[in-house]
Structure 1
Amino acid sequence: MRDVSRSESRMGRTWGLAGFLVVLVAALGAWAEPPASKLPGRKPDSREPWGAFLGKAAHDAIGREYRLQHPSNTVILDTNLSTIVERGSLGDPERLSKFVRLLRPDITDTRALVLFEIKPDGEESRGEGREQVGRYLAALNEAVEPDKKLTGGTGFEGSLFLEFENGGALWRLSWRTPEPGVTLYRWSYRRKKPNASWKERTAQKEEELPGEEVEQRGELAEQAIRAAYEGGERPKGFQGQVYLPADCR
């Protein structure tokens, strides 16, 4: 009976450890995946909330803008830590444990040795971003060479505007980096004002983006921003203009 009890005790400890590892891997997978990362395009039967869809659009636009502003740097967007270390020639990716190598910072600049995590503008999201940045830096800086340690980036901010028709609804995507590595974004809205220029309309009262606007124009907004950065044609149904940060200066 003693042998059976010892065997059962060992088996219990083994299953307990296995359960812990499964939970840990699942949690790391959740940290590694940015909001709405599985949204290549809004489908009519999509179960993702519209807010998550606009989150994807914001991540895409802000990442592209950082890359545009640093054309000589190696800027890696939404990529796992193992690939970042390898592509950036920062050190040995094998030094990363298997539990952290799949974590994915939103923006990593391997020349400036900084990274950013993009979050909606809010205290809870800001705290989550701070924790993720700390986790990324701790993992990366264990694997990189001593002279290639990374830090949280600073001073990254900007905005872009979407105008729907002449004097139609004006949307603004703005972002700021209030603490190292944490970039917060916000969508806002200005009501219709026919025949007024978009620059005149930026002085209008800024409001929260209405839910019906998001549902009606969310997919067009994402497509229009992507086309503006890529120099492509306007998406079908979009009769307005996109004003990128370079146009707003």
Structure 2
Amino acid sequence: MLVAALGAQAEPPAYKLPGRKPDSKEPWSAFLGKAAHLAIGRQYSVQHPDNAVFLDTFNLSNIVELGKLGNPKRLSEFVRLLRPDITDTVALVLFEIKPDNEEGRKEGRVQAGRYLAALNEAVEPDKKLAGGTGFAGSLFLEFENGGALWQLSWRTPEPGVTLYRWNYRREKPHASWKERAAQKEEELPREEAEQRGEMAEQALRAAYERGEWPSGFHGQVYLPVDCH
């Protein structure tokens, strides 16, 4: 079981949040989005260890060249620097990650379509890509023993569009995380998100990258392998 040290952090103003850079002005919603993209992308890589998987630090030109798909010079200057969220050049599939709502689904569909059209103009005929399917999962973050439990879950309701959402389980002292996970899920309270959005990103990064856990925090991260 992969475990991360976590805990609570204080509330705004932003420059007073423990663990934040003194000049950080980034809103909590940005941290939740970054945390979701990081975890979902890393999880896809974990589930496909033998594939060449490019996450959102790689642009289309990199993907075509490093993935040995074709000639990156065929990409126009207007698209070559675009960065899809997940591109698997062995399975020849692509995913765009968005919040689980109608706007997110529409944006994901448009962006995935744009990336695929651009890539398929540059790749060899036998290496055409398509929108990925069947990618779904969830993980949990526990910020202290018996405390609030966050869940990040994702699904792929249409090819190439992976939608995520955060939800919440109330604290229940002396209950195991699995007992709390079985409780009714609720929308993640804004106050919780504001207090712990950045910590969620830091903890997930540490869990997937096997880096240092955020100091001074006491909790656990339960990755999908732990949730079965």
User: Post-superposition, which runs of at least 4 consecutive aligned residues in structure 1 deviate over 4 A?
Assistant: none
Match of 1:21 in 2: none
RMSD: 1.3
CA–CA separation in structure 2 for the residues paired with 1:122 and 1:49: 20
The amino acid of 2:67's aligned partner reads G
What is the DSSP-based 3-state SS (H/G/I as helix, E as strand, rest coil) of the residue aligned with 2:191?
A: helix
* Pair 1:211 & 2:172 matched: no
Provide Cα deviations, 1:106-140, integer angstroms capped at 9, x if missing partner.
00000000000000110011001000111011111
Provide Cα deviations, 1:137-192, integer angstroms capped at 9, x if missing partner.
11110100000000000000000001111110100000000000000000111111
* Pair 1:201 & 2:201 matched: no
CA–CA separation in structure 1 for the residues paired with 2:156 and 2:20: 28
CA–CA separation in structure 2 for the residues paired with 1:224 and 1:194: 22
Where does the alignment leave 5 or more consecutive residues of structure 1 unmatched? Answer: 1-40
Moved more, 154-163 or 219-228: 219-228
State the structure with bigger RCO (CA 8 A, min sep 6), 1 or 2: 2
Match of 1:62 in 2: 40
What is the DSSP-based 3-state SS (H/G/I as helix, E as strand, rest coil) of the residue aligned with 1:100?
A: coil
Provide Cα deviations, 1:70-127, integer angstroms capped at 9, x if missing partner.
0000000012111100000000000111011111100000000000000011001100
Where does the alignment leave 5 or more consecutive residues of structure 2 unmatched? Answer: 1-18
The amino acid of 1:203's aligned partner reads A
Question: Could you tell me how far 1:47 is from its partner in structure 2?
Answer: 3.2
Moved more, 96-105 or 217-226: 217-226
What is the DSSP-based 3-state SS (H/G/I as helix, E as strand, rest coil) of the residue aligned with 2:121?
A: helix
Match of 2:26 in 1: 48
The amino acid of 1:236's aligned partner reads S
Match of 2:138 in 1: 159
State the TM-score, normalized to the length of structure 2. 0.89
CA–CA separation in structure 2 for the residues paired with 1:177 and 1:44: 37
Aligned-residue identity in percent: 81
State the TM-score, normalized to the length of structure 1. 0.81
Match of 1:188 in 2: 167
Match of 1:143 in 2: 122
1:109 to 69, 83, 88: 88
The amino acid of 1:123's aligned partner reads E
What is the DSSP-based 3-state SS (H/G/I as helix, E as strand, rest coil) of the residue aligned with 1:116?
A: strand
More helix by share: 1
What is the DSSP-based 3-state SS (H/G/I as helix, E as strand, rest coil) of the residue aligned with 2:133?
A: coil
The amino acid of 2:30's aligned partner reads A
1:1-249 map, 5 Å: 42-78=20-56, 79-249=58-228
CA–CA separation in structure 2 for the residues paired with 1:68 and 1:123: 28
CA contact (8 A) 1:42 1:53 kept: no
Question: Could you tell me how far 1:42 is from its partner in structure 2?
Answer: 5.0
